[in-house]
Amino acid sequence: MHDGTGSAATVRLLHVEDDPAFAELTATYLDRLDGRIDHESVSTAGDAVERFEEGSFDAVVCDYDLPDGTGIDLLKRVREVDPELPFVLFTGKGSEEVASEAISAGVTDYLQKGGGADQFEMLVNRLRNAVDRHRLGRQVERSIAALEAASEPIGILDADGTYLFANEAYASVYGIDPETLVGTHWERFYPDDEVERFTDEILPIVTEEGHWSGEATVDCADGGRVRERLVLTHTTDGGHVCIIRGAEPAADDPA
């Protein structure tokens, strides 16, 4: 599969269509409308399964009626391998029953064949958007996996100050697990004077300058206190990323 992302990246497409004339017409329009779509056509579900298992495709476009089954049958096979791969049912068999069956099987999009070039323009737009979303989702998954595996304590908060993400190393500083930390507001873990300092002084600096580093005192789940060294970085959505550079028991630890 191509590693490129974004609308300029090549898309490897498997097109399943048993009508040779329509398959050729589709190929012509794909080349005309978007030369970055590298397409391959097969005429049966069996051939499609074989090519799908052998090759590496970014998306599948499939007719409903095939000589050896239906596009839904193929969709189910594809979903066993990749639950998220863009799969567009492009068919002249338009009915609520077919659409419902396709949605239940996990189709990405459903388009009816029609006259003129409009159908192909819509196909290309839907296909490109679906592939871009899929690639972005994969990037996010890889990024989260990397953050989770990082030994450095990392937390991500939204604009309201609620934790969206925390890896194991970060949550352990607070004496809890990441699942408990996510969805909690940061103020829960700081003494009143620190909450006031962050609200009045530190967070405005993060917003204005884009970053801040310094120390803060944390109230841990076990009742103890930790003095942590922090680096805060502003995010485009108004939240911030928090990295803990070091932590040790605070001198005023009530425990």
Chain mean pLDDT for the chain: 90
Contact 163, 253 (CB under 8 A): no
CA 54 vs CA 48, 72, 134, 223: distances in Å: 10, 20, 21, 57
pLDDT tens digits for 85-144? 999 999 887 778 888 899 999 999 999 888 788 999 999 999 999 999 999 888 888 888
Task: Give me the pLDDT at residue 97, please.
Answer: 84
Distance CA 75, CA 67 (A): 15
The stretches of 117-198 forming alpha helices (DSSP H) are: 118-149, 168-174, 178-181, 192-197
Within 10 angstroms of residue 78's Cβ, the number of other Cβ atoms is 23
Q: Is the confidence at residue 55, as pLDDT, over 90? A: no
Q: How many CB atoms lie within 10 A of CB 227?
A: 16
Strand partners, 228: 216, 247
Alpha-carbon gap, residue 130 to 159, rounded angstroms:
28
* Amino acid identity for residue 129 in this structure: N
What is the set of domains in the chain, with CATH numbers?
A: 11-147 (3.40.50.2300), 150-249 (3.30.450.20)
Q: Could you tell me which residue, 162 or 149, shows the higher pLDDT? A: 162
What's the pTM?
0.65
| Residues 210/229, Cβ–Cβ less than 8 Å | no
Contacts of 25 (CB under 8 A, 6+ apart): none
